[in-house]
Amino acid sequence: MAVPAARRAGRAALDRRAAAVGLRFVLGPDYRLGFLFVAPSVLLVLALVAYPFGYAIYLSMTRKYVGVPPVWVGLDNYVKLTWDGFFQRAVVNSFIFTFGSVSVKLALGVAMALVLTSRIRFRSFFTGVLLIPWVAPTVVSALNFLWIFDYSLGVLNYLLVRVFRLLPQGVGWLSEANTAMASVIAVNIWRGFPFFGISFLAGMKAIPAELYEAAAVDGAGPLQRFRRVTLPGIKNIMIIVVLLSTIWTFNDFQIVYILTRGGPGGATQVLPVLTYEIAFGAQRLGEAIAVALYLLPALALVIIVLARYMRRGQAR
Amino acid sequence: MRPRALVEPLVSYAFLAVLLVVVSFPFYWMTITALKSETQMRSLLSMFWPDPVVLDNFRHLLGQTDFMAWFKNSVLVSVSSTFVATAIGTLGAYSLARLRFLGRAFLSSAVLITYLVPPSILFIPLYAQIRNLGLADSLAGLIAAYPSFTVPFVTWLLMGYFESIPVELEEAAMIDGATRFGAFRRVILPLAAPGVLAAGLYAFTQAWNEFLYALVFITDVKLRTLPVGLSSFITGDVYGWGYLMAGAVLTTLPVIAAYIYLQKYMVEGLTAGSVKG
């Protein structure tokens, strides 16, 4: 009687081992530690990003006020927004804000990287100082510019009127419809271009020097070397940085909120600020989320393309 | 001759000089505004140098406003959410970069995509969630919410870092009898320490600078963080530019300190690791 029992126990142990090997085969050789280590991140992302995101999509199809249960309305919010003049204007403004900022940041970034790769001294000092707008708190920078742009006591008007005498009188940079948008774009450029520059600098440094030497031997001038060697060499980084910045700029809340709150008269109203105003000014949460999600398909497309480029960059 | 240098040094210096002025002027202006007296500021005299240099603004800021409370709140929120994010992110990054298991590729992409989802989409549902948990209007709510952007960032950054550490080091340790976990703890983690520190500091500055969640989740004046507190100085009719700029100086300093330490990683590690093409 004892012998078959022992044999059975032995077989059970073997089965367990076989099962463990099978699990390792299906789940991968390091599945235990792998799952254990990645579990906190996964749970956190599910709780703080995936779930809220799904909830946002649901809420956007409801009529929802703060403290009151949501009422299902289907695509009503989206349909209404489509014909809403304020919303249309905010969409147009968001695109102007984004493309105005990103295109100048791109040009300035390339220029910054080019001068930082030229034969200069104190390179790391220059690089360090030029990065400061990127690391300083955006709110602080926005408040600084609010003060600089101030109509009566601001230093910009002081410089233009009293020091350089370029203008007969001061300009209300943020309070006039025709200068407000340019002003908020300028602040976004000021804050964002160092990231372009530093990324392109890293890309340019990674281009093998032999390529430049070969091009120089073949008689290529600086302009040709730039077009034939530098640009192709940083193409991937450029795509990544431009897409990344497009997402960030399109969703930039702080600069516009602090400088103009979308004013004057909606001249700088962009989607993130409009979302906030509808949600916490008008307390209409469902409609507010619909504003934030209206362009989700476009955002998703940009994110997917960008993620693909970034994954490819990291895999190498 | 250096064929890589495409721009003449003279042109470079001229361009850099202009950029330098444009970039540093707002910080210069912020600092001297903080050191000016109210009368001098209103008079437009000696615009570019405080005359006399006074500390009234700092005294007012620290004595008459809630600035000190906001500073403490910011420190508490940023430091604790940074520790949480760095711990979770480091483990996750190691797992995704090195360990072989089902779903790794999918999860790596998922981490990256969550890093790219903008807060302007998430702040309303997150607020609803924080409210349901009873954490609205508390610093705990912010500490709970900030890992939503710091964890994906730290994970993504450190994945690149772990991948750059030769796998042979780990294999050697395991041949010598270390377990996978032992190899991670004794060999990989010490090697990755500078990267972990840099990622942590970077997460700290992101939490320190965060504005939207803090604006939405917190209503109690005493519980504000620095960015929201500072911006609340401009809602009244009277703009206290002097003490506002004094507050701006004190808010910028910790970030600049972290940055000076981080600089070499920012220029080489960070950009190359996170956005190499």
Q: Which architecture characterizes domain A78-315 according to CATH?
A: Orthogonal Bundle (1.10)
For a pLDDT cut of 90, what percent of chain B falls above it? Answer: 49
For residue B222, the model assigns a pLDDT of 94
Considering only the beta carbons, identify the residue of A34, A112, A199 that sits closest to B104: A34
Instruction: For residue A206, list chain B residues with Cβ-Cβ distance below 8 A.
Output: 272, 276
B89 in A contact zone (CB under 8 Å) = yes
For residue B236, the model assigns a pLDDT of 60
Interval A81-115: pLDDT, tens:
999 999 999 999 999 999 999 999 999 999 999 99
Considering only the beta carbons, identify the residue of B148, B230, B266 that sits closest to A48: B148
B272 has a pLDDT exceeding 80:
no
A224 has a pLDDT exceeding 60:
yes
B273 has a pLDDT exceeding 50:
no
Q: Rounded to whole angstroms, how far apart are CA atoms B263 and B261?
A: 6
Q: For chain B, what are the domain ranges? A: 77-218+257-274
Considering only the beta carbons, identify the residue of B26, B119, B272 that sits closest to A141: B26
Does the beta-carbon distance from A258 to B4 stay under 8 Å? no
Q: Which residue of A has its CA nearest to B233?
A: A143
For residue B5, the model assigns a pLDDT of 79
Considering only the beta carbons, identify the residue of B104, B113, B275 that sits closest to A241: B275
How far, in Å, are A212, B30, B36, B73, B224 from residue B67 at the CA level? 54, 17, 19, 10, 9
Instruction: For residue B47, list chain A residues with Cβ-Cβ distance below 8 A.
Output: 155, 158
Instruction: Return the amino acid letter for A121.
Output: R
The mean pLDDT value of chain B amounts to 87
Does the beta-carbon distance from A135 to B255 stay under 8 Å? yes
For residue A262, which of A275, A246, A245 has the smallest C-alpha distance? A275
Positions of E strands within A1-79? 62-63, 71-72
* Rounded average pLDDT over A293-304: 92
Matching residue, tokens 């320190």: B208
For a pLDDT cut of 70, what percent of chain B falls above it? Answer: 92
- Residues 152-171 (A) with a CB less than 8 A from some CB of B: 153, 155, 158, 162
**Packing angle of the helix pair B147-163, B67-98 (nearest 10 deg):** 40
Chain A nearest-CA distance from B2, in A, is 8
Query: Dmax of chain B from CA atoms?
Result: 76
Interval B13-46: pLDDT, tens:
999 999 999 999 999 999 999 999 888 888 888 8
For a pLDDT cut of 70, what percent of chain A falls above it? Answer: 95
Q: How confident is the model at residue A158 (pLDDT cuts 50, 70, 90)?
A: very high
Chain B nearest-CA distance from A27, in A, is 5
Does the beta-carbon distance from B205 to A135 stay under 8 Å? yes
Q: Rounded to whole angstroms, how far apart are CA atoms A96 and B29?
A: 29
pTM check: above 0.80: yes
B177 in A contact zone (CB under 8 Å) = no
The mean pLDDT value of chain A amounts to 89
B259 in A contact zone (CB under 8 Å) = yes
Does the beta-carbon distance from B2 to A119 stay under 8 Å? yes
In this predicted model, which residue has the larger pLDDT, B47 or A231?
A231
B253 in A contact zone (CB under 8 Å) = no
Q: Which residue of A has its CA nearest to B225?
A: A139
* Rounded average pLDDT over B107-111: 90
Does the beta-carbon distance from B29 to A147 stay under 8 Å? yes
Chain B nearest-CA distance from A15, in A, is 22
Judge whether B108 and B162 are in contact, CB under 8 Å.
no
Report the run of H or E that residue B201 belongs to, with start and end: helix B189-209
Residues facing residue A65 across a β-bridge:
A284
Q: How far is CA B151 from the centre of its chain?
A: 13
Q: How confident is the model at residue B2 (pLDDT cuts 50, 70, 90)?
A: low
* Rounded average pLDDT over B245-273: 76
Q: How confident is the model at residue A2 (pLDDT cuts 50, 70, 90)?
A: low
* Rounded average pLDDT over B144-165: 90
Q: How confident is the model at residue A173 (pLDDT cuts 50, 70, 90)?
A: very high
For residue B239, the model assigns a pLDDT of 67
For residue A6, the model assigns a pLDDT of 66
Does the beta-carbon distance from B120 to A285 stay under 8 Å? no
Matching residue, tokens 């009898």: B177
For residue B276, the model assigns a pLDDT of 36
Mutate to test the interface with A, among B24, B123, B127, B213 (most CBs of A within 10 A): B123
- Residues 25-84 (A) with a CB less than 8 A from some CB of B: 26-31, 33-38, 40-42, 44-45, 48-53, 55-56, 59
Does the beta-carbon distance from B100 to A34 stay under 8 Å? yes
Does the beta-carbon distance from B125 to A258 stay under 8 Å? no
For residue B274, the model assigns a pLDDT of 41
Does the beta-carbon distance from A190 to B47 stay under 8 Å? no
Does the beta-carbon distance from B24 to A258 stay under 8 Å? no
Interval A56-82: pLDDT, tens:
999 999 998 877 888 899 899 999 999
Q: Of the spans A309-313, B10-14, B233-237, which averages the highest pLDDT? A: B10-14
Judge whether A300 and A76 are in contact, CB under 8 Å.
no
Q: Which residue of B has its CA nearest to A189?
A: B23
What CATH number was assigned to the domain covering residues B77-218+257-274? Answer: 1.10.3720.10
Does the beta-carbon distance from B92 to A34 stay under 8 Å? no
Q: Rounded to whole angstroms, how far apart are CA atoms A143 and B254?
A: 18
A197 has a pLDDT exceeding 90:
yes
B269 has a pLDDT exceeding 50:
no
For residue A115, the model assigns a pLDDT of 93
Considering only the beta carbons, identify the residue of A30, A51, A155 that sits closest to B47: A155
Does the beta-carbon distance from A144 to B3 stay under 8 Å? no
B276 in A contact zone (CB under 8 Å) = yes
Q: Which residue of B has its CA nearest to A131?
A: B23
Q: For chain A, what are the domain ranges? A: 2-59, 78-315
Judge whether A30 and B100 are in contact, CB under 8 Å.
yes
* Rounded average pLDDT over B100-114: 89
For residue B277, the model assigns a pLDDT of 32
**Packing angle of the helix pair A296-315, A235-250 (nearest 10 deg):** 140
A251 has a pLDDT exceeding 80:
yes
A7 has a pLDDT exceeding 90:
no
Q: Rounded to whole angstroms, how far apart are CA atoms A271 and A288?
A: 10
ipTM over 0.95: no
List of residues 6+ apart from B191 with CB closer than 8 A? B165, B169
Q: How confident is the model at residue B203 (pLDDT cuts 50, 70, 90)?
A: very high
For residue B148, the model assigns a pLDDT of 92
